[in-house]
Chain A
Amino acid sequence: MSSAVRAARSRDLGELVSPPRRSSGPTPRRRLQPPPFLRGPWLLLTPALAVIAVITGWPLAQLIVMSFQKYGRAQIFGAPPEFVGFDNYVEVLTDTEFWQVLGRSLLLCTACVVATMGLGIAVAVLMTRLGSGLRLLVSIGLLLAWSMPALTATTIWGWLFDTRRGLVNYLITEFTPADFTGHSWLNNWVSFYFVATVIITWQSVPFVAFTAYAALTQVPREVLEAASLDGASSWQRFRRVVVPHIRAVLVVLLVLQIIWDMRVFTQIYTLQTIGGIAEQTNTIGVYIYVTSVAGGDMGAGGAIAVLLVLIMLAMSGYYIRSVLREEGI
C-alpha cells in the first residue's frame, strides 16, 4: 500500500492516540444534529457508491464467480466458462507451490514486521529523548524515506545492491575481509528476501516511528514522575507505564503492518525485474499475477485471490473494530 494511505492512517491513529483529551472537557461528545439541508443523505452518497459498486463491487463479484469456473486460455478467447464447483480451490490448496508461496510470504511478512516494529518503536523512543534540533533532523530523514514511491525505492536499492557496481558490494569488499566483488544478492532467494526486507523496512519504519512517537507524547508525565519517585528504573518505567499506555496504538500498528507486508507486490515484482529467480521468490500477490496472466489459469488465480481477500479481511477485523470503537460509531 502506498505511503499516502499510511500518512492518512497516521492521522486516524493520531485521533486514536488521544481519546482521553477528546472525551474530557465540557463539550458533549456527540453534537446536535442539524436538520437535513438536502433531500436525504443517499443523494450525496450516490456518485461515490456508484463508482465503488461498478469498479470495485462488480469485479469482486466477477472474481468470486470466476474462482468457481474453469477459466483458462480457451475461455479468454471466447469459449464459455463452465462451473466446476470447488475444483479451483482444491487444485490450489493441494498444490505444493501454493503452500511454498504462502510460507515464503509469511516468512517475508514476519521478517518485515519484526524489523519495522522494532526499529520504528526504537526510533520513536529515541525521538522523545532528543533535543528539538536533532528531532527535526531525524523527522526530515524519515519523511524523505517515507515519501519515496515503492517502485523508485526498489530501483534505488536494486542499484545499491547491484552485482557489479553496487555500493554495498564495494563497501563490504573494501572494509571487511570478505570479498564480495561480483556477488549477486538477488540470485539466491534468502538474500533476495533480505534485500526485499531492507527495502520494505526502510519505507515502513517512518510510519511506525511517527505514530508511536505521537502516542508516546500522550503518556501523562505525572504518572512517569510518580513511578520515578517510587524508585522505578527507566526500563521499569518504560515497561510498566509507557507500554501499557500506548499498547492500543501498537497493536493497531502491528495489524496494519502485517496486512501491508503480507500482500507486498510492487517491491518483489520490481526486484524480480532487476534480477533474481522469479519462481523461487514469488509472494502471494505476485503469484496471483503469475498464475492468472503468465500461466493463463484465471480460475486458479481467482481462487487464490479470493483466499487472499478472506485472509486480509479476517486480519483487518481487529483494526476496523478498534477504529469504530475510537470513533464512537
Chain B
Amino acid sequence: MSTQAPPRPGRLGGSPRRVRPGGPARRRSQRRVTIGGTIRTICALVVFLASIFPVYWMVNSSLLPGAAVRSSTPHLWPDEFTLDNYVTVLTPGNRSIDFLPALRISVIVTLSTVVFALLFAFLAALALSRFRFRGRRMLIVGVLMIQMIPAEAMMISTFRVLDGWNLVNTTIGLTLVYVATVLPFTIWTLRGFVNGVPAELEEAAMVDGCSRMGAFWRVTFPLLAPGLAATGVFAFIQAWNEFTFALIIMNRADQRPLPVWLRAFVQATKETDWAVIMAGSTLVAIPVIIFFLIVQSRMTSGLVAGAVKG
C-alpha cells in the first residue's frame, strides 16, 4: 500500500483513454473527449454562475440607486454606480436600526468568544490528546454529542438561565453562550492539530536540555500556531453568524448584534428599499467571506495536498 502511486485528482475517468496509443481508435476517442469536454466546460460554468450569482446580485443591487433597483427592468450591472446605500446604512438616524452600535456589539462578542474559546479549547485539547486517563473516551463521545444538541431546542431554557443571572441583553451573557457553543467543535478541531504534532519532537527537545514546559512552548506551540489560527477563525465565523441565540438573548433594540440587526433592518425597510437592505447584507457578509476564504484555502489545500502526496 505504501508504494502505491499517488492518486491524482481529476484523472479518474479520462486518463486511461488519453494515454492509449494507436490510429483510428485514438482519433475516435479524441473526438469523444472533445464533445465530453465541451459539456463538462458548460457544466462547470453553470455551477460557477449558480454559485456566485446571488452574491453578485447582492453587491450589484447595493451599488445601484434605489430608483434603479425599483425600476421594472433589472440593471444587470451597476451602470448607475453609487455608494448612497452604504451611506444610508452607516448614517445614524433611527436608533432602533443603527448599524454601528450593532457592529460594536458583534465585534466585542465575537473577539471575546474567539479568545476564551481558543484558550479553553487549547487546554482541553492538550488533555484529550496528550494524556490517556479514565473517562477520556467518555469525554470525547460527550464532546461529539453536545454538538448535536440543536440551539433551537436550547434557546428558551438558556434564556431563562441567563435571565436568572441578569445576563440577558449583556455582551457577557451572549459571549458565555457562544463560548459554550463553539467549545465542543474547537476542542475537537484542536485535538486533531495537537495529534498531528508528534510527542517525539518534544522528547527530542528535552533530550537536548529543554525543560518539559520549555520543550512544549518552544517546539509544540509554534507548530500548533496554524491550527490555532484556523480554529480561531472558525470560532470567529460562528460567533459572527450566529442568529438563534442572539435573537432571544439580545432582544433589546440597542443590544442587537449584526445578524439580529439585519433581520430588524429587513423588517423595517421591507418592500421599500432592497438596495439599502443589500448594502446592509454586504456589510454583514464581508468579514465572514474574507475570513472564510483565508481558512478554507488552508483547509482545502491541506486536503488536496494530503491527497496528492499520498
Contact residues in B for A20 (Cβ distance below 8 Å):
1
A48 touches B132 (CB 8 A): no
A214 touches B303 (CB 8 A): yes
Distance of A66 Cα from B164 Cα, bound (Å)? 15
**Would you call B41 an interface residue if the criterion is a C-beta within 8 Å of the partner chain's C-beta atoms?**
yes
Contact residues in B for A47 (Cβ distance below 8 Å):
119-120, 123-124
Say which one of A36-44, A87-95, A109-117, A187-195 lies at the interface with B: A36-44
B242 touches A7 (CB 8 A): no
Distance of A300 Cα from B263 Cα, bound (Å)? 27
Render B119-149 as a binary contact track against A, CB cut-off 8 A, 1 for contact: 1110110111011110011011100111111
Distance of A225 Cα from B212 Cα, bound (Å)? 51
**Would you call B184 an interface residue if the criterion is a C-beta within 8 Å of the partner chain's C-beta atoms?**
yes
Other-chain residue from A12, A42, A131, A305 in contact with B154 (beta carbon distance below 8 A): A305
Distance of A2 Cα from B199 Cα, bound (Å)? 33
B160 touches A59 (CB 8 A): yes
Contact residues in B for A149 (Cβ distance below 8 Å):
240-241, 259, 284-285, 288
Is the contact region of chain A dominated by helix, strand, or loop, or is it mixed?
A: helix
In the complex, what residue of chain A is closest to B278 when comparing beta carbons? A159
**Would you call B8 an interface residue if the criterion is a C-beta within 8 Å of the partner chain's C-beta atoms?**
yes
Chain B residues in the interface with A (C-beta under 8 A)? 1-2, 4-5, 7-16, 36, 40-41, 43-45, 47-52, 54-55, 57-58, 61, 69-74, 116, 119-121, 123-124, 126-128, 130-133, 136-137, 139-141, 144-158, 160-161, 176-177, 179-181, 183-185, 187-189, 192, 198-200, 202-203, 212-213, 216, 233-235, 237-238, 240-244, 247-248, 259, 262-263, 266-267, 270-271, 274, 277-278, 281, 284-285, 288-289, 292-293, 295-296, 299-300, 302-304, 306-308, 310
> What are some 16 contacts across the A-B interface (CB < 8 A)?
A44-B126, A45-B124, A54-B180, A55-B179, A60-B157, A63-B156, A134-B41, A138-B48, A148-B289, A152-B281, A167-B57, A219-B7, A224-B16, A228-B16, A273-B263, A308-B152
Q: A-B pairs with the 5 shortest C-beta distances?
A: A141-B51, A285-B152, A55-B180, A147-B292, A41-B127
